[in-house]
Homo-oligomer: A and B are copies of this chain.
Amino acid sequence: MTGDPRFQPVDAAVVPRFADVATFMRTRRHEVSPDVDVALVGVPFDLGVNFRTGARQGPAGVREASRLIRRVHPTTGVSPFELCNVADLGDAPVNPLDKDKSIAQIQGFFETLRENRIVPISVGGDHTIPTPILRGLVTDEPVGVLQFDAHPDTLEELCGDTVNHATFMRLGHKEGWIDPKRTLQIGLRGSRFSEADIQYGIDAGFTVITIDDYEAMGRAAVIAKIHEVLGDRPFYITLDIDGVDPAFCPGTAVPEIGGLIPRDLQVILRSLTGKPIVGADISEVAPCFDPTGITCVTAANLMFEMLCAIAPAVAAGRG
């Protein structure tokens, strides 16, 4: 086992996986520092939802479930903790009583990560969080976005409010931190408020792959399309856990039947190994609706997929 000894997860042969404090993947709880390459962070914000809340407990739930994660990827063989310094940087600051302040605080936190050249993998929190995350991370040119979601999140407003879990893709386009030509929305489905729900992204130039499209194309063609659209320039991955079918991930605010399965996500994320990923998030995990725990387990595993996809390029970039 190689890798910086300061940044190795707790060894399961010494400390059983059920033991001690739960951090993400049993990595070290560390403060922000240039020594960290990849940050595992929580963003416990859920003031941006219009149905049911609960995603503020998402980071706690995923930390606990991530005790299951080991060290080596079974398919790609990537061993991220050998390649780079991975740590649990705790949670982004939020104010549970003030949506706007929270969004500013989150943005500030991710600015600091950017300044320290740390690539973040975040666990929400509701799907408002890509807005402050990307506002914080993106300074120069806009990034591509690979979104997995049941909903396009391109509404103009919800109850008169423009910054919430249904609007970030429109905001990103309008504010210029998303490059629409290198952006995909995958897994869209579910009844709509109006036809316009999905139209904004199409008009903006996003590559929209509804669940119908996904089924028609097949996973391999979708992967090819993803690679074609994203190209070799930097992009961000955002996974609203409701993109996954609710039989696999029931613990979420707005479940929509007939979705992607975790295997789809696994295979797609693995195909991105080594790509220039600037960050990623998994949002809308609400443990209070997850009595079997499988939503948190799924999120923890997909977080590891993201880490294994990200680690090689980070290691290369650092070398």
Q: A residues engaging B (CB < 8 A)? A: 1, 12-23, 29, 42, 44, 46-54, 56-57, 59-60, 63-64, 67-75, 77, 88, 90-91, 93-99, 101, 158-161, 164, 188-195, 197-198, 210-212, 215, 245-248, 250-251, 254-258, 261-263, 266, 288-294, 297-298, 301-302, 304
Asked if A22 and B19 make an inter-chain contact with CB atoms under 8 angstroms apart, the answer reads no
Task: Name the residue of chain B whose CB is nearest to the CB of A301.
Answer: B257
Checking B42, B56, B257 against A52 with a beta-carbon cut-off of 8 angstroms, the contacting residue is: B56
Closest 3 CB pairs of A and B: A97-B161, A70-B191, A250-B292
Asked if B64 and A288 make an inter-chain contact with CB atoms under 8 angstroms apart, the answer reads no
Q: A13-B159, A97-B158 are in contact. List 5 more A-B contacts (CB 8 A).
A: A18-B44, A70-B193, A73-B191, A290-B292, A292-B292
Asked if B64 and A53 make an inter-chain contact with CB atoms under 8 angstroms apart, the answer reads no
In the complex where A19-B91, A21-B23, A192-B71 touch, is A288 in contact with B255 (Cβ < 8 A)? no
* A74 to B259 CA separation, bound complex (whole angstroms): 13
Residues of B within 8 A of A1 (CB): 194
Asked if B53 and A56 make an inter-chain contact with CB atoms under 8 angstroms apart, the answer reads yes
Asked if B18 and A57 make an inter-chain contact with CB atoms under 8 angstroms apart, the answer reads yes
Asked if A159 and B98 make an inter-chain contact with CB atoms under 8 angstroms apart, the answer reads yes
- Give A196 Cβ to nearest chain B Cβ, in Å: 9
Residues of B within 8 A of A44 (CB): 16, 18-19
Asked if A98 and B193 make an inter-chain contact with CB atoms under 8 angstroms apart, the answer reads no
Asked if A17 and B50 make an inter-chain contact with CB atoms under 8 angstroms apart, the answer reads yes
Asked if B263 and A258 make an inter-chain contact with CB atoms under 8 angstroms apart, the answer reads yes
* A47 to B288 CA separation, bound complex (whole angstroms): 17
Asked if B262 and A194 make an inter-chain contact with CB atoms under 8 angstroms apart, the answer reads no
Residues of B within 8 A of A52 (CB): 18, 54, 56-57, 288
Task: Name the residue of chain B whose CB is nearest to the CB of A71.
Answer: B193
Task: Name the residue of chain B whose CB is nearest to the CB of A258.
Answer: B263
In the complex where A69-B191, A159-B96, A191-B70 touch, is A297 in contact with B246 (Cβ < 8 A)? yes
Asked if B42 and A298 make an inter-chain contact with CB atoms under 8 angstroms apart, the answer reads no
Residues of B within 8 A of A195 (CB): 72, 77
Asked if A297 and B257 make an inter-chain contact with CB atoms under 8 angstroms apart, the answer reads yes
Asked if B304 and A68 make an inter-chain contact with CB atoms under 8 angstroms apart, the answer reads no
Residues of B within 8 A of A256 (CB): 68, 301
- Give A42 Cβ to nearest chain B Cβ, in Å: 7
- Give A96 Cβ to nearest chain B Cβ, in Å: 5
Q: List 6 contacting pairs A-B, 8 Å CB cutoff, sorted by A.
A: A18-B56, A21-B63, A50-B97, A251-B292, A289-B292, A290-B292
